[in-house]
Amino acid sequence: MGIFDRLFSKKESKDTLDQGLQKTKDGLFDKLKRAVAGKSKVDDEILDELEDILISSDVGVETTVRIIERIEARVSRDKYVDTKELNSILRDEIAALLGENNTTDYEDFTLPADKKPYVIMVVGVNGVGKTTTIGKLAWHFTQRGKKVVLGAADTFRAAAVDQLGIWSQRAGCDIVQKGMGADPASVAYDSLVSAQSKDADVVIIDTAGRLHNKINLMNELTKVKNVMQKVIPDAPHEVLLVLDGSTGQNAFEQAKQFTAATEVNALAITKLDGTAKGGVVIGISDRFKIPVKYIGLGEKPQDLQVFNKKAFVDSLFEGAEI
Q: What is the CATH number of the domain that holds 58?
A: 1.20.120.140
Digit-coded pLDDT (tens) for 31-86: 888 888 878 888 889 899 999 999 988 898 999 999 999 898 888 887 667 878 88
- Does residue 321 lie within any of the structural domains? no
Mean confidence (pLDDT) of the chain: 88
The Cα 288–Cα 267 span in angstroms is 10
Based on the fold, state whether residues 76 and 151 are members of the same structural domain: no
The domain boundary, picked from 53, 68, 101, lies at 101
Give 175's strand partners: 150
Based on the fold, state whether residues 95 and 123 are members of the same structural domain: no
Per-residue pLDDT for 252 more than 80? yes
* Structural domain of 236: 118-308
Pairing of strands 202-206, 148-152: parallel
- Does residue 37 lie within any of the structural domains? yes
Based on the fold, state whether residues 97 and 133 are members of the same structural domain: no
Based on the fold, state whether residues 207 and 245 are members of the same structural domain: yes
Based on the fold, state whether residues 261 and 176 are members of the same structural domain: yes
- Does residue 61 lie within any of the structural domains? yes
Give 244's strand partners: 270
Do residues 263 and 227 make contact, with C-beta atoms less than 8 angstroms apart?
no
Q: What is the pLDDT of residue 156?
A: 87
Do residues 122 and 242 make contact, with C-beta atoms less than 8 angstroms apart?
yes
- Does residue 208 lie within any of the structural domains? yes
Can you say whether the dihedral through the CA atoms of 291, 132, 111, 228 is positive or negative?
A: positive
Print burial letters for 88-100: b (CB count within 10 Å at least 16), e (below 16): ebbeebbbebbee
Based on the fold, state whether residues 46 and 170 are members of the same structural domain: no
CB atoms within 10 A of CB 226: 12
Query: Which of 6-20, 160-174, 201-215 is predicted with the least confidence, judged by mean pLDDT?
Result: 6-20
- Tell me how far apart the 2 most distant CA atoms of the chain are, in Å: 68
The domain boundary, picked from 57, 74, 101, lies at 101
Based on the fold, state whether residues 188 and 271 are members of the same structural domain: yes
Tell me the average pLDDT across 154-164. 90
Based on the fold, state whether residues 181 and 214 are members of the same structural domain: yes
The Cα 9–Cα 243 span in angstroms is 26
Based on the fold, state whether residues 163 and 48 are members of the same structural domain: no
Digit-coded pLDDT (tens) for 183-237: 999 999 999 999 999 999 999 999 988 755 677 878 888 899 999 999 999 999 9
- Does residue 315 lie within any of the structural domains? no
CB atoms within 10 A of CB 260: 9
Task: Report how many domains make up the chain.
Answer: 2
Digit-coded pLDDT (tens) for 103-134: 677 778 999 989 999 999 999 988 899 999 99
Based on the fold, state whether residues 49 and 136 are members of the same structural domain: no
Percent of the chain with pLDDT over 70: 94
**Alpha helical stretches, state H, the chain:** 3-20, 22-36, 44-56, 61-78, 86-101, 130-143, 158-171, 184-197, 214-228, 249-261, 280-288, 309-317
Based on the fold, state whether residues 154 and 295 are members of the same structural domain: yes
Q: What is the CATH number of the domain that holds 253?
A: 3.40.50.300
Phi, psi dihedrals of residue 203, rounded to the nearest 5°: -125, 130
pTM over 0.95: no
Do residues 68 and 89 make contact, with C-beta atoms less than 8 angstroms apart?
no
Based on the fold, state whether residues 95 and 130 are members of the same structural domain: no
For residue 117, cis peptide bond before it (omega within 30 degrees of 0): yes
At 168 the three-state DSSP class reads helix
The Cα 90–Cα 195 span in angstroms is 46
